[in-house]
Amino acid sequence: MENRSQWGTRLGFLLAAIGSAVGLGNIWRFPATAFENGGGAFFVPYLFALLTAGIPLLIMEYTIGHKYRSSSPRSFSKISKGVEWIGWWQVLISFVISTYYPIIIAWSIMYAYFSFGTKWGNDPTGFFVGDFLNLADAGTFGSVVPAVMIPLLVVWVIVLFFLGRGVKKGIEFANRIFIPTLFIVFFIIVIRAVTLPGAMEGLDAFFKPDWGSIFDGSVWVAAYGQIFFSLSIAFAIMITYSSYLPKKSDITNNAFITGFANSSFELLAGIGVFAALGFMSVQADTDISEVVESGVGLAFMVFPEIISQMPASGFFGFLFFAALFLAGLSSMISISETYIAGLQEKFSISRGTAVLCGGGLALLVSLFYATQGGLNLLDTVDHFINNYGVALAGLFEVVAIAWFARSLKDLQNHANSVSDIKLGIWWRICLGFITPLVLGCMMILNLKTEVSRPYEDYPFDFLFNFGWLVAIGAMLLGAVITIKKWPSKDKES
């Protein structure tokens, strides 16, 4: 499309792409994953996964967006009409994620406020699930929690404001502020963490290599999984973002910069988190393995306890939750942009209308997570949409393009025509064989774990209704949307 929006500068695109990749998972998922899978030895399969799957997939998605200059579904339809549904599947996955992701950002806002005076007291876990969330049993929603709903609405106002302003004046402008600020704030946190008593014990636990773990296949699957989930691959994000690039753009160089910037932040997060956990283990006179946590538990239960024991606790608590807020917000904007772009093109509507319709619907759905049962709902939907939505969509994407459409050579030629770093047969081997094999193994391991026992021992009907149905429903609805034809004015040969 000739009048397609464009990034103002290459730096603007890179900051937006890095902002999408650098999210909450970098801070609360990577450190524990590395520790549990060989410590320092984990970086060997992690780097291998980055070079053989992460960056090759980024290059592929950047190339698709740049070559076809369309949203993810439209780009897939231009590759082959039979694979358009994969693009919509990925867009719907992003839509689902955008309904619960802002809840975590809303929690971060409240906890930044709670940091002054450490309002969680001596029992951060009890405060989080009891006083703050008033958590109900799994399968029940209960009433709306005002302390969650109000900041949730604030988050949505911010997100919709920047999306409504467009690519250059909205998304690029936001990331030019958020990402440099995030790196500065988090660097300050890390510097403080490594100067705490016990920090060296924490870092030793994080970096100490268990070389025997390299021969464990599950460690390699964990490394590929971490790379896959942390780079915003198979969310339709990178295809959408790269479609706004100028015609003369160095695709491969951009992918390498994005990939290594994301991994650098993960390493920085690992250092900061384990330095703080080392401090906590010394204060509690316990082994560091006893305090290692990931996900929501690390951010809102373990870290408040660490913050309470730190000098200037209010200041550093505010910085930590401000970092979560910035990391989450930049990712949230990118996630939402996928369906804004898709709606614009499929239904020939203005950006403002797409933002109001798509964003408005996501906002309404997100209110369910602001209830007393919101945490259990979030945990379940997140688990299934990631393990059986994103991972499976990524597998279908690479198999469809490499094996069925046989488009890798064509995409390689396009990337090479605009890039300094030329792609060779190694790139096609990575995407045609290594990546599908690893993603397939990941799916099998996930399913084996799933059938062994119910996730988090939630009731089966709760897991089925809000786990399996959501993940499968996104795929089926993606296929249904393809029935509607694209507007004739958008047809290209």
pLDDT value at residue 4: 87
Task: Evaluate whether residue 491 is within a structural domain.
Answer: no
State how far Cα 223 lies from the chain centre: 16
pLDDT value at residue 212: 96
- Residue 209 has φ and ψ, to the nearest 5°, of -85, 140
pLDDT at 171 > cutoff 50: yes
Task: Evaluate whether residue 183 is within a structural domain.
Answer: yes
Q: What is the pLDDT of residues 142-159, one digit of tens each?
A: 999 999 999 999 999 999
Task: Evaluate whether residue 2 is within a structural domain.
Answer: no
Integer Cα distance of 148 and 257 in angstroms: 36
> 493 burial class (0-12, 13-18, 19+ CB within 10 angstroms)?
exposed
pLDDT value at residue 346: 97
The count of residues in the chain is 493
> 134 burial class (0-12, 13-18, 19+ CB within 10 angstroms)?
middle
Of 478, 481, 480, nearest to 86 by C-alpha is 478
Residue type, 459: P
Whose tokens are 């149905």? That residue is 469
pTM of the complete model beyond 0.85: yes
pLDDT at 87 > cutoff 90: yes
Task: Evaluate whether residue 5 is within a structural domain.
Answer: no
Integer Cα distance of 90 and 96 in angstroms: 10
Task: Evaluate whether residue 214 is within a structural domain.
Answer: yes
Task: Evaluate whether residue 42 is within a structural domain.
Answer: yes
Integer Cα distance of 33 and 221 in angstroms: 11
Structure tokens at 285: 């006179």
| Number of compact structural domains in the chain | 1
pLDDT at 491 > cutoff 80: no
Q: How much is the average pLDDT of 264-276?
A: 97
Angle CA 462–463–464, to nearest 5: 90
For residue 183, name the pLDDT band (cuts at 50, 70, 90).
very high
Q: Is 118 strand, coil or helix? A: coil
Alpha helices in 165-294, H assignment, sequence order: 173-194, 199-207, 217-230, 237-242, 251-284
Q: What's the CA dihedral at 184, 187, 189, 193 to 10 degrees?
A: -170
Whose tokens are 């990939």? That residue is 259
Buried b (16+ CB within 10 A) or exposed e, 147-176: bbbebbbebbebbbebbbbbbeebbbbbbb
Integer Cα distance of 97 and 313 in angstroms: 32
pLDDT value at residue 490: 47
> 374 burial class (0-12, 13-18, 19+ CB within 10 angstroms)?
buried
Q: What is the pLDDT of residues 371-406, one digit of tens each?
A: 999 999 999 999 999 999 999 999 999 999 999 999
Domain holding 95, by residue range, is 10-484
Task: Evaluate whether residue 335 is within a structural domain.
Answer: yes
Q: What is the pLDDT of residues 278-288, one digit of tens each?
A: 999 999 999 99
pLDDT at 481 > cutoff 90: yes
Q: How far is CA 322 from CA 109, 112, 147, 406, 412, in A?
A: 7, 6, 17, 45, 40
Task: Evaluate whether residue 265 is within a structural domain.
Answer: yes
pLDDT at 232 > cutoff 90: yes
pLDDT value at residue 489: 61
Largest CA distance in the chain: 69
Answer whether 300's CB lies under 8 Å from 290's CB: no
For residue 3, name the pLDDT band (cuts at 50, 70, 90).
confident
Q: What is the average pLDDT score of the chain?
A: 95
pLDDT at 1 > cutoff 60: no
Q: What is the pLDDT of residues 319-346, one digit of tens each?
A: 999 999 999 999 999 999 999 999 999 9
Integer Cα distance of 445 and 465 in angstroms: 22
**CATH code, domain with 317:** 1.20.1740
For residue 493, name the pLDDT band (cuts at 50, 70, 90).
very low
pLDDT at 446 > cutoff 80: yes
Rg of the chain in Å (alpha carbons): 22
Q: What is the pLDDT of residues 355-367, one digit of tens each?
A: 999 999 999 999 9
